[in-house]
Chains A and B, each alone.
Chain A
């Protein structure tokens, strides 16, 4: 079962919830945590982990073969991303603009643009007893996160059983990287905080999740720091609030040094228990179906 942990706004506690929930569930279930926030992957900071495997992740980019090229300019005209230009009697390629659609390569009349792999990031697979942990990490200077997110998910699908509880720590926002990381999830947990920014970005995240036809619930983090507008919104929209995590200095301090929170703070552990119970009923329903 795949559960994506997402939020519209950054810094609401996605990673805190992902890492703690994974370790907590891992005490009784088989769990893999997957960091899909490939631009700023942070889950590893909170887990004591041992590296099992590391792979370079590639994207496919055309390479120009001058010998066979007739400079017909077909490739330049058909690239919708302007990733190729013809300068004098040379074809120049801009890898950062390329979306790896293969159109130039496969439609080149003289086969002068073979596709070649270029490193875009890394995938690491760790053992973080009792769970397993997989991280995608985009190279600095790379601009397209979506392909790495897709490849990271593919790795997890290949290496783990369907029954394993898979938790995706998703990137923030509502644009394509988020869509990529929640589109095949069975359930989405939206983490928010009870402030106007939190509410505003939650409504965007709810719209996104609904547009994808996903089942979802909300966790309110730092409960008590702001007002009750988020709760009122959830009530009006008939959205399930899975748990409320209190706004405590202790939690922020554990987080700041990369410590897991539930072993130290009881009220946090209670919130995790509520979410865990909910997830277990979800997976039972799935088995029944």
Chain B
């Protein structure tokens, strides 16, 4: 089983639309995993049935028992995250600021502080509208996106893929360069970078590729909206050559991305034969590189 992870560094380059398009070309023979758990959108295109849900707990959060608390304030003194406020005669935990280190609970003499498991989100296993398997998740508002939910979703996806002898797992990766993207990349066989020919697109591509390099994973790149700016597009192509990144395809700007999205379709389902051809060719290139 091989694993393709699609990432972009910068948002809005078409990462999720392209991942969903690859998934729809692959149909039942592959499994799709959405690791963009903070703002997961792929379900809007693949319309999974949310068949099975499990809550996900990670880390802890402090809770003060007012009955036991003697208002000594030691907890607030030791907290480095300003997560303990004194309000209306009581010390209270600001759950959004609490990092769950447990220092306060350790120094509380009357043991008035309990560390509880923190509910950070939920993950789902579903069948998409094509009948293929999909694993996805939703992070709770303001939860720490530590990469643990991402790792969980990937692990579940992998288990299903192996059990059903699927040859490929397609992962919609997380944005940025922090923990979630590091978790998305771990164990990948191929990274597909989706970028756009803008200065921001190039800047973010370079930063995220620094992260990819540390994993020594084979990488390829799709330049989306490639006709937006010929100069920047050439700069990106130059960067790909310098870094020996496979240049998979240029996809010119097309309204099909937003139109397909509005109809709840993937771009490869949407009736644009030229776009469909570009995506099919991209997929073939990627599969050849992976030897699938």
Interface residues of B in 13-32 (CB under 8 A from A): 13, 16
* Closest Cβ–Cβ distance, residue B44 to chain A (whole Å): 5
Q: Could you say which of A156-164, A193-201, A237-245 contacts chain B?
A: A193-201
Q: Using a CB-CB cutoff of 8 Å, which residues 111-128 of chain A contact chain B?
A: none
Task: Tell me the B75-110 residues at the A interface (CB within 8 Å).
Answer: 78, 80-81, 96, 99-103, 106-107
Which B40-60 residues have C-beta < 8 A from chain A?
41, 44, 59-60
Check B41 against A201 for contact (C-beta < 8 Å). yes
Distance in angstroms from B84 CB to nearest chain A CB is 13
Q: With an 8 A cutoff between CB atoms, is B278 at the interface?
A: no
A144–B44 Cα distance when bound, in Å, is 30
Instruction: Check if B103 sits within 8 Å of A103, measured CB to CB.
Output: yes
Binary B-proximity of A150-192 (CB < 8 A = 1, otherwise 0): 0000000000000000000001111111010001000000000
Q: If A45-B200, A140-B210 touch, does A99 touch B99 (CB 8 Å cutoff)?
A: yes
Structural contact, B38 and A11, CB atoms closer than 8 A: no
B41 touches A197 (CB 8 A): yes
User: A191 CB to closest chain B CB, in angstroms?
Assistant: 11
Measured in the bound complex, the distance between the Cα atoms of B232 and A167 in whole Å is: 28
Whole-angstrom CA separation of A103 from B108 in the bound complex: 13
The count of residues in chain B whose C-beta lies closer than 8 Å to any C-beta of chain A is 59
Contacting pair A175 B177 (CB below 8 A)? no
- Residue A102 is within 8 A (CB to CB) of chain B in the complex: yes
A141 to B255, CA, bound (A): 36
Complex interface residues of chain B between 208 and 245 (CB less than 8 A to chain A): 208, 210-211, 214, 225, 228-229, 231-232
- Bound form: Cα–Cα A102–B78 in Å: 8
**Any A CB within 8 A of the CB of B9:** yes
Q: B261 at the A/B interface (Cβ < 8 Å)?
A: yes
| Interface: B68 (CB within 8 A) | no
Contact B207 A143 (CB under 8 A): no
B261 touches A226 (CB 8 A): yes
Partner of B44, one of A8, A40, A100, A197: A197
A287: interface (CB < 8 Å): no
Bound Cα distance from A15 to B12, whole angstroms: 12
Residues of B within 8 A of A101 (CB): 80-81, 99, 101, 103
CB neighbours of B232 from chain A (8 A): 256-257
* Contacts known (A78-B102, A101-B99); A175 close to B142, Cβ less than 8 A: yes
Q: Is the CB of B261 within 8 A of A176?
A: no
Please judge, given known A-B contacts A8-B39, A183-B96, whether A80 and B101 are in contact too, CB under 8 Å: yes
Contacts of B143 in A (CB 8 A): 175-176
Identify B12's interface contact among A9, A81, A144, A200, CB under 8 A.
Answer: A9
Interface size class of A (residues with CB under 8 A): 35 or more
**Is residue B162 within 8 Å, beta carbon to beta carbon, of the partner chain?**
no
Q: Say whether A12 faces chain B, with CB atoms less than 8 Å apart.
A: yes
In this assembly, does B145 line the interface, its C-beta being within 8 Å of a C-beta of chain A?
Answer: yes
Q: Is B112 an interface residue (CB 8 A)?
A: no
A142 interfacial by beta-carbon distance below 8 Å: yes
Question: Given that A40-B9, A101-B101, A143-B179 are known contacts, is A175 also in contact with B144, CB under 8 Å in the complex?
Answer: yes
Nearest 6 pairs of A and B residues by beta carbon: A11-B12, A10-B11, A101-B101, A11-B11, A256-B229, A175-B145
Chain B: residues with CB nearer than 8 A to chain A?
9-13, 16, 38-39, 41, 44, 59-60, 78, 80-81, 96, 99-103, 106-107, 115, 139, 141-145, 147, 175-179, 182, 196-200, 203-204, 207-208, 210-211, 214, 225, 228-229, 231-232, 255, 258, 261-262, 264
Question: Can you name 16 extra interface pairs (CB under 8 A) apart from A10-B10, A101-B103?
Answer: A8-B39, A11-B13, A40-B203, A78-B102, A78-B106, A80-B60, A101-B99, A103-B101, A175-B139, A176-B142, A195-B262, A201-B39, A201-B41, A226-B262, A252-B228, A256-B232
* 5 residue pairs from A and B, CB less than 8 Å apart: A141-B210, A142-B178, A172-B175, A174-B139, A225-B255
